[in-house]
């Protein structure tokens, strides 16, 4: 009698460029039969945030920068990628969870709210791990509180 075992694994990776943040989830089905391992199927799913969510997060970021007296990074690509990461989490989790941290359980973290943008360290001490909101004395702070997002 042969033993056949199916294993499904999922891995999520995030890549970022100056123009877009993209989350890719790979699902792999591996079949084991008498010590033989065959990679049967790999499925790659790419998720991009909706333009509506990106626009909501862009407007929120501009308003919060003005209210908090902070500025966007001199490298606009950093600002763009972070805003798109927030929009992606808004779409997938229902909350703008900080995209620059690793979470064992993103849904639980989003529900807790500590790392939802603006996170507690930002609200209390003006410390933004993502470099989205920078104080004027930060070496990477630009002079802009407005950002244009490229949707391509």
Is residue 117 among the annotated active site residues?
no
Q: What is the tens place of the pLDDT at every residue in 6-56?
A: 444 444 454 554 444 455 544 444 444 444 443 333 333 346 899 999 999
* Percent with pLDDT over 90 in the chain: 66
pLDDT at 22: 52
How deeply is 118 buried, as exposed, middle or buried, from its count of CB atoms within 10 A (0-12, 13-18, 19+)?
Answer: buried
Give the containing element (helix H, strand E) for 42: strand 36-47
Domains and CATH numbers, the chain: 51-125 (3.90.460.10)
Q: Which of 38, 73, 98, 100 is catalytic?
A: 100
Kindly report, residue by residue over 38-49, the tens digit of the pLDDT: 333 333 334 689
């Amino acid at each position: 009698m042969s033993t056949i075992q199916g294993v499904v694994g999922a891995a999520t990776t995030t890549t970022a460029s100056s123009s877009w943040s993209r989350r890719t989830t790979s699902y792999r089905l591996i079949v084991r039969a008498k010590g033989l391992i065959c990679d049967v199927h790999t499925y790659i799913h790419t998720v991009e945030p909706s333009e509506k969510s990106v626009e909501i997060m862009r407007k929120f970021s501009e308003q919060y920068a003005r209210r908090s007296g902070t500025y966007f990074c001199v490298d606009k690509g950093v600002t763009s990628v972070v805003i798109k990461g927030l929009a992606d989490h808004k779409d997938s989790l229902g909350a703008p969870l900080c995209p620059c941290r690793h979470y064992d359980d993103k849904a639980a973290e989003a529900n807790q709210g500590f790392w939802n943008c603006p996170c507690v360290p930002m609200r209390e001490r003006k410390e933004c791990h993502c470099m989205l909101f920078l104080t004027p004395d930060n070496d990477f702070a630009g002079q802009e509180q407005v950002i244009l997002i490229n949707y391509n």
